A = this chain, B = another copy of it.
Amino acid sequence: MKNRLKVARAEHNLSQADLADRIGVSRQTVNSIETARYVPSTVLALKLAQVFGKPVDQLFMLEETD
């Protein structure tokens, strides 16, 4: 699964730590999701979508390997 978190974060001028605070997880979790080490839960995906004002599908996209 790909994601556009880094770009969305840049658009909103948020650090990984800022974003982590906003969605109630650790900074490392945000970093791990962003670098695609972890697949987040749907609750986290929805919270991220809420923060960025974009639908989940515009933040996370399936790949062939999924």
Q: Does A25 contact B (CB under 8 A)?
A: no
Task: Pick the residue among B40, B47, B50, B55 that contacts A55 (CB under 8 A).
Answer: B55
Q: Interface digits, A15-55 against B, CB 8 Å rule (1 contact, 0 not)? A: 00000000000000000000000011111111101100001
Chain A residues bordering chain B, tally (CB within 8 A)? 19
Give chain A's interface residues, CB within 8 Å of chain B: 1, 39-47, 49-50, 55-57, 60-62, 66
In the bound complex, residues from chain B placing their C-beta under 8 Å from that of A56 are 42, 45-46, 55-57
In the bound complex, residues from chain B placing their C-beta under 8 Å from that of A42 are 1, 39-42, 44-45, 56, 60
Task: Pick the residue among B39, B46, B49 that contacts A43 (CB under 8 A).
Answer: B39
